Amino acid sequence: MKNVTPDISVVMAVYNGEKFLKETLDSILSQTFENFEVVVIDDCSTDGTADILKVYSEKDGRIKVLHKENEGLGLARNSGMSLAVGEYIAFVDSDDYVKSE
C-alpha cells in the first residue's frame, strides 16, 4: 500500500489526561474522514497516560506519540506542530470529544 500524506494533523498536548484520554482518542479515531494523523505530546504525565498512549499507538498507525519534559501547553503544541506532516493542523485537548463527522 502506498504511503499517503495525511490531509489533517490533529495535535494533542496531554498532561495527566488518563481520565478522559481514551474517550477523546476514540472520538478522533471514529471520524468518517480517515486521512489524518494524531500527534500526541505527553508533557511528562505522572498518571497512566503513557500506558494508554502506548496501547493506542500500537493499534493505530495514525497515532504518533512524543514523551517530553513538562514545559507547558504552548511548548508541547509547538513540539507537536514540528512533527505534524498534514496540510492542515487541528488542536484537540485531551478532555475533548469530537463528533464523528
pLDDT at 39: 98
* Radius of gyration for the alpha carbons in the chain, expressed in angstroms and rounded: 13
pLDDT value at 23 more than 50: yes
Mean pLDDT of 69-78: 94
Percent of the chain with pLDDT over 70: 97
| Residue 94 neighbours by CB under 8 Å, 6+ apart | 12, 13, 14, 15, 17, 20, 21, 24, 49
Mean pLDDT of the chain: 95
